[in-house]
Amino acid sequence: MEPGETSHMVPLNHAIASQRLTVHVHLQPVSLTLAQLQSLSVGDVVTLDHCLSDPASLHLVLGARASHSTVAANQPLCTAWLGQVDGHMAVELQTGSL
């Protein structure tokens, strides 16, 4: 750029601020036998081993495509606490926790 010229470029954080990202909340894994897995049907409830008093972790999914669940990598962002807001499941983020 020549001296005196004005740049029409915007800062990177402004340029990508409206991009949608995928985040996942990771809970403790559930262990099932093959027989238990095969016997599951629509409407069944699987009890999780994750206690409400245990934090979950929030991960940024990198390389995910909107139409597929292909995940190239995921990056932990922070811990999160499970909760509910206005009848909807929610997570409360804890800063600086990972």
pTM higher than 0.75: no
pLDDT at 15: 82
**Mean pLDDT value across residues 24-50:** 94
DSSP 4-60: TPPP-PPPHHHHSTT---EEEEE-------HHHHHH--TT--PPPS--TTS-EEEEE
Domain range list for the chain: 16-28+50-98
**Mean pLDDT value across residues 49-78:** 74
